[in-house]
Amino acid sequence: MIFFRNSFFRFLFATILFFVVACSTPNGNNKKTVADDDSASDDDFFDDDSQNISCAPGACDDLAFINTGVEEVILAGPIGYYNSNIRSNQPGEEWAELGAGDLDGDGLFDLVFTVLSDSPSPFYVALNEGGGNFKWQKQATLTCQSVEYSNRGVALADINHDGCIDVAFAGNQCLAYSFGDCSGQFGDVTLVKTDLAATTVAFGDFNHDGYLDMVIGGTGGIEVFLNDGQDGLQLGNTYDVSASWLATADFNEDGKMDIVAASTAETSILLGHGDGTFSVSPKKYPGAFSVSVADLNNDGHLDYLLSGAGGKRAIAVYLGKGNGSFVPGFSYDDLCVQITFMATVGEFDGDGNVDIIAACHDLFKSKTSSYDSALLTILSGNGDGSFHNPFSLDTYQADSIIASKFH
């Protein structure tokens, strides 16, 4: 995907843009062009009838997303413009990956970034000071280099069980992690060598010992690392399942953590035994660029959402039966002109149902523009596993999206 980094595209992103996706969903399949307008009001994004739907304070998720190859993060949310300074202060640095968590215990979600680089480089923290303002902090140098255009190579959780959020990075033949101190600062980076060119990492207590373990994935397979309870991770089993995106959850409701692994070829379910080992389900599902897990139809069973499912443009819902198996549900086969690169779930319209936000990579033209651009599309959940009212914004290409509450 080197064409995302041509000179014209880089020039297009030279200006810092911050905008708001109002927490509402209009009637109809509406689109607005906002890529060249950083001074619009909420009404510029939504038709008048959309203003009849609003979110109570704190009821809706905000968005943070980045474009690989530029030096800025775009934030959007229901409270108005973020006057944010989330961008690199080092010319030429290009964000590669994005993670979020409450790093300093103040109840506000902060951000973690890695830099796209062929040499060792630091990772960065942006501490949320409220009102959309963030404070930069440079952290330790990573010798675990990101696989280019990896978009889920960062994960945050409390690894050493001290009540502070830690950070883990998956990269080229390595796994790295650093312990947080509950103030937004991180210590030295611990490096673990692996055999994978890993693009994704996820957490889960796979052996029921009370400590979070890790799983990393790449085109060469999946590797499970078990937490030894003494600030270390030990390689457990490996599985011949390709994964460009991983998520963990208890899909068969037996109290043991399972794994869903998506690659462009297929999506696989690995059912956990509770001792750190897994069985790969023989049932395969369509390949995808990304996977998100949630109860999409409010039946108490976990479902998952695939972007680029079975083809570059589609999103598809697979409804869980509570026994580790899934059946096809809602799908949208023509969401994007060319590629539905990733999608995630959250609450974006205030009705209590899970919604979808999807990122289109329309490489040559979008539905409303003649130049390289992309769409962010929100689909409102009906609460039964189906979705309606796709509303799209023409904006800059989103390579990593996080839905959380940043205000």
The CA R_g of the chain, rounded to the nearest whole Å, is 20
Average per-residue pLDDT for the chain: 77
* pLDDT average, residue stretch 91-108: 83
Written as one string, the DSSP assignment of 321-353 is -SSS-EEEEEEETTSSSSEEEEEEEE--SSSSS
- Whether pTM > 0.85 for this model: the answer is no
Cα angle value 283/285/287 (rounded, 5°): 140
Our measurement of the distance from residue 345's CA atom to the centroid of its chain's CA atoms, rounded to an integer in Å, reads 9
Could you read off the pLDDT of 372-382 as tens digits, one per residue?
A: 445 678 888 99
**pLDDT band per the 50, 70, 90 thresholds, residue 4:** very low
Q: Is 44 helix (H, G, I), strand (E, B) or coil?
A: helix
Under a CB-based contact definition with an 8 Å cutoff, are residues 76 and 66 in contact? Answer: no
Written as one string, the DSSP assignment of 97-141 is EEEEE-SSSSSS-EEEEEE--SS-EEEEEEEEEETTEEEEEEEEE
**pLDDT band per the 50, 70, 90 thresholds, residue 213:** very high
**pLDDT band per the 50, 70, 90 thresholds, residue 42:** very low
On the question of pLDDT at 276 being above 50, the answer is yes
Among 116-125, 135-144, 213-222, which is the least confidently predicted range? 116-125
pLDDT of residue 268: 97
Q: Name the nearest CA neighbour of 217 among 180, 263, 182.
A: 263
pLDDT of residue 143: 74
Under a CB-based contact definition with an 8 Å cutoff, are residues 219 and 212 in contact? Answer: no
Q: Which residue has better confidence, 68 or 346?
A: 346
Under a CB-based contact definition with an 8 Å cutoff, are residues 269 and 248 in contact? Answer: no
Could you read off the pLDDT of 232-246 as tens digits, one per residue?
A: 999 999 999 999 899
Under a CB-based contact definition with an 8 Å cutoff, are residues 132 and 155 in contact? Answer: no
- DSSP designation for 152: B
Q: Which residue has better confidence, 392 or 284?
A: 284
Percent of the chain topping pLDDT 70: 70
